[in-house]
Amino acid sequence: MRSPDAVACRSVERAYHLDAAEVPALRGVDLTIPRGSFTALVGPSGSGKSTLLRLLACVDRADRGQVLIDGTDVTRLSRGRRVRMRRKRIGFMFQSPADNLLEYLSVRQHLELGAQLRGLRRSGSEVTAMLERLGLLDRADHLPHQLSGGEQQRTAIGFAAIGPPAVLVADEPTGQLDHGTVDSVLAAFAVLASTGVAVVAATHDPVVAGRADQVIQMRDGQVVT
Ligand SMILES: Nc1ncnc2c1ncn2[C@@H]1O[C@H](COP(=O)(O)OP(=O)(O)OP(=O)(O)O)[C@@H](O)[C@H]1O
- What is the per-residue pLDDT across 16-59, written as a single tens digit (0 to 9) for each? 998 889 999 999 999 999 999 999 999 999 999 999 999 999 99
In the structure, what pLDDT confidence band is assigned to residue 2 with cuts at 50, 70 and 90?
A: low
The ipTM, to two decimals, is 0.97
**Cα–Cα distance, 60 to 86 (Å, whole number):** 11
Range of 95's domain? 5-224
Q: Residue 68: pLDDT band by 50, 70, 90 thresholds?
A: very high
Please state, in angstroms and rounded to a whole number, the distance separating the CA atoms of residues 108 and 203.
28
Using the mean position of ligand 1's atoms as its centre, give its distance from the Cα of residue 43 in Å: 12
For 146-168, give the DSSP string. Answer: GS-HHHHHHHHHHHHHSS--SEE
CATH number at residue 107: 3.40.50.300
Cβ of residue 41 lying under 6 Å from some atom of ligand 1: no
For ligand 1, is residue 124 a contact (CB within 6 Å)? no
CB–CB of 112/127 below 8 Å?
yes
Decide: 95 in ligand 1 pocket, CB within 6 A.
no
| Cα–Cα dist 165/6, whole Å | 10
- Kindly give, in sequence order, each residue whose CB lies less than 8 Å from that of residue 122, ignoring residues fewer than 6 positions away: none
Q: Does the pTM exceed 0.90?
A: yes
Distance CA 151, CA 204 (A): 21
pLDDT digits (tens, 9 = 90+) for 87-106: 989 999 988 888 899 999 99
Given a cut of 80, is residue 1 above it in pLDDT? Answer: no
Work out how many domains the chain is built from and give that number: 1
Please tell me the distance between residue 123's alpha carbon and the centre of ligand 1 in angstroms.
38
**Is any atom of ligand 1 closer than 6 Å to the C-beta of 108?**
no
Mean pLDDT estimate for the chain: 92
